[in-house]
Amino acid sequence: MKRLIIVVIGAMLMSTQVWAFDLMGPTISRLKDSGKTSVGVEYFWSNMEIDADGISALDLTSDTIGDFETDKITANLALGMGRGSEIFFRFGVADAGPDNNNDWGGIPGNMGSSDEVLVLGGGAKWTLYDGADFAWGLLTQVSWAEYDFDGRSYSVGDYDVALSTDFEMVEVQIATGPVFQINEDITIFGGPFLYFLNGEADFDGTIDGSPARVIADLDQESILGGYIGAGLELGQKANLSFEVQATSGSYGMGGQLVWKF
């Protein structure tokens, strides 16, 4: 049964076109007792596809922004709530850089890379079943970031623009899946998840020399994905884990080092 579930998760990952966004870790709570705490350090890299609305002021129709890369370094603080549940809060820094491409009238290829910005997030985990070497859990999490890009001058079709750009994005993930205790030190985890993105692109500057401010909505390319990861116990208090995530529109990978108290 263990091998079958691992194979199914792996097949889900390989069948998607690309991969997704914030580190999730095991879906079960590591903090079984109320009042227990943990502190973690996380790194996550992602390559996203984002659907963008049209911009009538530039004669642009809706399009997909491909290869929108982000890097996030965060701290994770978790608190056990009892009965196999925990809540957590994360904060840190992130930056973003669209690939140099011609999507959405060439705007992403002219934006450059963002400044380092604050990223905030949080969520909860519930252990739904806890056996000797097999457990099942539920995770939900949300994150927020506003990426600031410096003003640049370039052309969009027949228009000459000088625009500074802000991308504000809220991302939500809901995951459920198994955790396998392979031996005393190693676990394997993963499962399907839902992914939602709600955002806004705000352009401020000039179009053909006239002052202009343009706003366009952003959302996710796809909502269903899968992920798989592995954890290694480093003594009784520390844990190191690594994972990859995938939807049909975005991809990502990262790791986490956690200390329990």
Q: Which residues of 226-239 are buried (b: 16+ CB within 10 A; e: fewer)?
A: bbbbbbebeeeeeb
φ, ψ of residue 111 in degrees (nearest 5): -75, -30
pLDDT at position 12, please? 41
In a domain, 223, yes or no: yes
Q: Catalogue the E-assigned strands of 53-158.
A: 63-82, 85-98, 117-130, 134-156
At 236, is the secondary structure helix, strand, or coil? coil
pLDDT at position 212, please? 95
Sign of dihedral through CA atoms 222, 228, 234, 235? Answer: positive
In a domain, 260, yes or no: no
| pLDDT exceeds cutoff 80 at 250 | yes
CB atoms within 10 A of CB 12: 18
In a domain, 256, yes or no: no
Q: What is the pLDDT of residues 145-182, one digit of tens each?
A: 999 998 899 999 999 999 999 999 999 999 999 999 99
Q: Which residues contact 9 (CB under 8 A, 6 or more apart)?
A: 177, 190, 191, 226, 227, 228
In a domain, 261, yes or no: no
Question: How many domains does the chain divide into?
Answer: 1
In a domain, 161, yes or no: yes
| Percent with pLDDT over 70 in the chain | 92
Mean of all residue pLDDT scores within the chain: 89
Closest Cα partner for 140 from 80, 83, 178, 85?
85
pLDDT at position 13, please? 41
* Dist. CA 261–CA 257, nearest whole Å: 14
Q: What is the pLDDT of residues 8-23, one digit of tens each?
A: 444 344 333 333 479 9
In a domain, 33, yes or no: yes
* Dist. CA 49–CA 143, nearest whole Å: 17
In a domain, 258, yes or no: no
At 19, is the secondary structure helix, strand, or coil? coil
User: What residues form DSSP beta bridges with 219?
Assistant: 51, 198
pTM score: 0.86
User: What residues form DSSP beta bridges with 196?
Assistant: 172
Amino acid at 230: A
- At 217, is the pLDDT very low, low, confident or very high (cuts 50, 70, 90)? very high
Q: What is the CATH number of the domain that holds 116?
A: 2.40.128
Query: Which of these ranges, 27-36, 90-99, 100-109, 191-200, has the smallest mean pLDDT?
Result: 100-109
Determine contact, residues 76/40, Cβ cutoff 8 Å: yes
In this structure, what is the dihedral angle of CA atoms 84, 89, 94, 100, given to the nearest 10 degrees?
A: 50
Which domain covers residue 86, as residue numbers? 2-250
At 3, is the secondary structure helix, strand, or coil? helix
pLDDT at position 66, please? 85
Q: Which residues of 44-63 are buried (b: 16+ CB within 10 A; e: fewer)?
A: bebbbbbbbbebebbebeeb
In a domain, 103, yes or no: yes
Distances (CA, A) of 256 to 79, 89, 230, 231, 233: 17, 14, 11, 9, 12
Token reading at 4: 């079958």
pLDDT at position 32, please? 80
